[in-house]
Amino acid sequence: MKHAASFLRAAVLVALGGAVGTASADITVISFGGASQKAQDKAYYAPFTKATGVKVVAGEYNGEQAKVKAMVEAGNVTWDVLEVESPELVRGCEEGLFEKIDFAQVGDKADFVPAAVSECGVGIFVWSTALAYNADRLKEAPTSWADFWNVDKFPGKRGLRKGAKYTLEFALLADGVPTSDVYKVLATPAGVDRAFAKLDKLKANIQWWEAGAQPPQLLASGDLVMSAAYNGRISAAQVEGKNLKVVWNGSIYDVDSWTIPKGSPNKAEALKFIRFASQPENQAVFSGEIAYGPVNLKAVPAIDAKVAAGLPTAPANMKGAMATDTEFWVEHGENLEQRFNAWAAR
């Protein structure tokens, strides 16, 4: 009876596009945790298990590429699907840490935002790092990174992510560099010096954060008057009743992607999961749970208009925003992070 049941299960999965050899395998999906993972569970994990019988074992990490590298080099890969940010996706693909993906098995490239389509990855959502503040604690609303740096008009502590990425861009925006020129300026030694000089002026007022959950907590408690923050985390706090606001002007948006670590024992199921998570109806559920924009353009009409207005992908929110330059951070990231760490430690 056991063999008959296994055969029947395999037959069902073949009909759904699965592979007989690994039909009953669970898959381990690793993301950044928090509110985003909860939304992924509702939009992707639970429905995928219901549709296929393949159980999703959820885990989380903080983006440490070294963990992936150690698994791949040891030939002991225990993760099947992994959420990565853009620079890590490009770097990991170049280093052979991720499987190449045949996008034809995922969907039509024309249905996706361009940044969602890559050699080793498939986009999950569009997210932003933006200026956020507690509207109950500020009499006047800040409108730019120049206001963020203006401690006379807005006294109090500011929160910034402890790292060079985004922090240096925000410093240049505060110093009057247009969004279109930020990466050109930052690619020069003088531009890097300019960004650090601007940070010097604010250093005494900065409280550094490392986890995405920290800014909304610190803003709500009054420990910070403003903070750089992930827009989805602020949205989740708003749902909880916190009067936090996002300033989209000067925000930086990027795409997180699914990738498959090289040597995953369940590659067929992993790819099937990614295809499932890329369907417009599932992407619409995700954006309804957390304010990150869909990468599948066909999901947009299915999203409630009020929800859509709070996404990074809303036209009004894109106006003063800028895209992360992934290639820039792949090329310059290591040196800039080293310089930032030395500067922050002083």
346 residues of the chain, pLDDT tens digit each:
333 333 333 333 333 444 333 345 799 999 998 888 999 999 999 999 999 999 999 999 988 889 999 999 999 999 999 999 998 999 999 999 999 999 999 999 999 998 999 999 999 999 999 999 999 989 899 999 999 999 999 999 999 999 999 999 999 999 999 999 999 999 999 999 999 999 999 999 999 999 888 999 999 999 999 999 999 999 989 989 999 999 999 999 999 999 999 999 999 999 999 999 999 999 999 999 999 999 999 999 999 998 999 999 888 998 899 999 999 999 999 899 999 999 999 9
For residue 24, what pLDDT is reported?
53
- The pLDDT, as a whole number, for residue 18 is 40
- Residue 134 — φ and ψ, nearest 5°? -95, 110
* Cα dihedral: 29, 287, 227, 122 (round 10): 50
Residue linked to tokens 């440490």: 64
Closest by CA position to 159, among listed 232, 242, 218: 218
| pLDDT averaged over every residue in the chain | 91
The fold adopted by the segment(s) 127-253+315-345 is D-Maltodextrin-Binding Protein; domain 2 (3.40.190)
**79 in helix, strand or coil?**
coil
Report the C-alpha gap between 130 and 226 in whole angstroms.
Answer: 10
Instruction: Name the CATH superfamily housing domain 2-126+255-308.
Output: Periplasmic binding protein-like II (3.40.190.10)
Q: In sequence order, what E strands does 7-121 have?
A: 27-31, 56-60, 81-84
Given this model, what pLDDT does residue 196 score? Answer: 98
Strand residues in 231-321 grouped as ranges (E): 244-259, 293-294
Tell me whether strands 226-230 and 122-134 are parallel, antiparallel or unpaired. Answer: antiparallel
Residue range(s) of every CATH 3.40.190.10 domain in the chain: 2-126+255-308, 127-253+315-345
10 Å Cβ neighbour count for 331?
14
pLDDT in tens, 88-144: 999 999 999 999 999 999 999 999 998 999 999 999 999 999 999 999 989 899 999
